[in-house]
Amino acid sequence: MRIIHPSGHKCSITDTLEIAKPTLLMSLACTIKKTSIDTMKPSMKVGVVALVGVCVILYQYHLSAGVRFDQLNAGDPGVSYGAANVPNNELEDDDNSYNKIIEDKIRAAVQWVQNVHGLSPDLQNILVAELINQFRKTRIPSPLHLKASEDFKLKQRTQEVTTINPSEKIPPLYVITPTYRRPEQIPELIRMSHTLMLVENVHWLVIEDAKVPTKEVTKFLNRTGLRFQHLTAPMPAKYKQKKGVKPRGVSNRNRGLKWIRANATEGVFYFADDDNTYDLDLFTQIRRTKKVSMFPVGLCTKFGLSSPVVKDGKFSGFYDGWVAGRRFPVDMAGFAVSVKFLLQRPNATMPYRAGFEEDGFLRSLAPFEPREIELLGDNCTRILAWHTQTKKNEPSAALDMKLYRSTNLVELKQQIV
């Protein structure tokens, strides 16, 4: 079959696919050849070319948008996409629902070509089956993951990245995020998810200070395409009722540690509050933590900064506006820990002691001395995390149902606090 390119050059469908290269499209080309290609009407041929275009776009989307094939296939055991405190069989359901989304996209694309250009029902069915078959078979190896992000120029900065061998397996990064229901919750999580979408092999543990998972949060997490776990860990009543400063996010972080002990064997974890701001280099650098790494955090305490002090290239103490007898006067966003290191310390936990959460947790990692700290951020000369805080908003006023009962406002109101 011959088609005329707008440039005037003649090229076949198979030529077009050669240019596009993806292997799944090669197979599609074979399918088309094998079937009724020679007997196609011209309009149908245009349809097939349009379909190839749609497939190329779909394929490019997967390469670039962070929805990766290893996220589409049931891969790592014990890993879920879109799971809220659910057993393993339901986690598989989530993988299946991901595959279903892709399959529906394929069906819709073929249907669109059928509607606009016409395709025989036989050819329509063959195309759908073959595309789905190829999507199921395809996995993108990790070098391509690296390449995709390099294309976006996200990973060119640190020396560490340039030394990563592309064929080497990237260790997983577990990001433990405490969160709780309030007007700012969803916008905070949106901002954070956008950061994590730019990070390789990340597993987001979102842990709500709540008795039951918030529906809006579950819905949101499912839409991110990130690998995540949605857990709950309410603050114990005796602390909740307490007046004054409370141990915020402690039950959540301890729940995260419990999950890691039960499910992770390698990699690194990091406590990332939902309202902070993270430099992308942070994730690249902490990923190789052997025991405990530390780095400067901006915008916290009266010094505006919390950081290890480095003299003559070596650790020589801590700089923090609030020391208060702490052995490790650091910010929650200022350290990361190796999973293996944690697993060797079965009693490590975060105490319910406001202001001493970081110190208590780091002390509980004993045996561990400050001199063993791995200094990141180019020997602590760069701020990798920012302890930002969002202005608190009052919950919204009730909706006047007499006025707005049958309007869009009813649905919108369910999405806010």
What are the helix (H) ranges across 65-206?
Answer: 69-72, 88-117, 121-137, 142-151, 159-162, 185-196
CB 102 within 8 A of CB 110: no
For the chain, state the CA radius of gyration. 26
Q: Measure the CA–CA gap between 93 and 82, rounded to whole angstroms.
A: 10
CB 221 within 8 A of CB 82: yes
Cα-Cα-Cα-Cα dihedral sign, residues 254, 260, 262, 266: negative
Among 112, 180, 239, 319, binds ligand UDP (CB under 6 A): 180
Instruction: Work out whether 242 is an interface residue with ligand UDP (CB under 6 A).
Output: no
Nearer to ligand UDP, 209 or 279 (CB): 209
CB 32 within 8 A of CB 65: no
Per-residue contact flags (x/-) with ligand UDP for residues 334 to 373, judged by CB under 6 A: ----------------------------------------
Q: Which stretch binds ligand UDP (CB under 6 A): 134-142, 174-182, 189-197, 365-373?
A: 174-182
Instruction: Work out whether 275 is an interface residue with ligand UDP (CB under 6 A).
Output: yes
Residue 184 CB, nearest approach to ligand UDP (Å): 9
Is 275 marked as binding a ligand? yes
Instruction: Work out whether 252 is an interface residue with ligand UDP (CB under 6 A).
Output: yes
Q: Measure the CA–CA gap between 31 and 18, rounded to whole angstroms.
A: 15
Q: Measure the CA–CA gap between 206 and 83, rounded to whole angstroms.
A: 10
Instruction: Work out whether 179 is an interface residue with ligand UDP (CB under 6 A).
Output: yes
CB 413 within 8 A of CB 400: no
Residues numbered 209-238 forming contacts with ligand UDP, rule: CB under 6 A: 209, 235
Residue 276 CB, nearest approach to Mn ion (Å): 6
Closest CA to 342 of 263, 273, 278: 263
CB 297 within 8 A of CB 286: no
Q: Which stretch binds ligand UDP (CB under 6 A): 97-105, 139-147, 195-203, 268-276?
A: 268-276
Nearer to Mn ion, 192 or 362 (CB): 192
Residue of 358, 369, 372, 411 with catalytic role: 358
Nearer to Mn ion, 273 or 281 (CB): 273
Residue 372 annotated to the active site: no
Q: Measure the CA–CA gap between 374 and 377, rounded to whole angstroms.
A: 10
Helices 185-196 and 215-224: crossing angle in degrees, nearest 10, is 20
Q: Which does 178 bind (CB under 5 to 8 A by kind): Mn ion, ligand UDP, none?
A: ligand UDP
User: Tokens at residue 3, please?
Assistant: 């088609």
Q: Which does 229 bind (CB under 5 to 8 A by kind): ligand UDP, Mn ion, none?
A: none
Residues in contact with Mn ion, total (CB under 5 A)?
2
Per-residue contact flags (x/-) with Mn ion for residues 270 to 289, judged by CB under 5 A: ---x-x--------------
Nearer to ligand UDP, 91 or 205 (CB): 205
CB 173 within 8 A of CB 283: yes
Instruction: Work out whether 188 is an interface residue with Mn ion (CB under 5 A).
Output: no
Residue 116 CB, nearest approach to ligand UDP (Å): 48
Nearer to Mn ion, 273 or 374 (CB): 273
Among 47, 66, 225, 249, binds ligand UDP (CB under 6 A): 249
Instruction: Work out whether 178 is an interface residue with ligand UDP (CB under 6 A).
Output: yes
Among 136, 248, 258, 291, binds ligand UDP (CB under 6 A): 248
User: Tokens at residue 276, please?
Assistant: 């902070």
User: Tokens at residue 261, please?
Assistant: 């002990």
Q: Which stretch binds Mn ion (CB under 5 A): 13-21, 58-66, 266-274, 282-290?
A: 266-274
Nearer to Mn ion, 54 or 333 (CB): 333
Q: Measure the CA–CA gap between 289 and 307, rounded to whole angstroms.
A: 17
Residue 257 CB, nearest approach to ligand UDP (Å): 15
Q: Measure the CA–CA gap between 100 and 61, rounded to whole angstroms.
A: 17
Q: What residues pair up with 270 in beta bridges, in sequence order?
A: 175, 336
Q: Measure the CA–CA gap between 12 and 14, rounded to whole angstroms.
A: 5
Is residue 160 helix, strand or coil? helix
Annotated binding site: 275
Annotated binding site for Mn(2+): 275
Residues that bind ligand UDP in the complex, under the rule CB under 6 A: 178-180, 209, 235, 248-249, 252, 273-275, 389
Instruction: Write out the catalytic residue numbers.
Output: 358
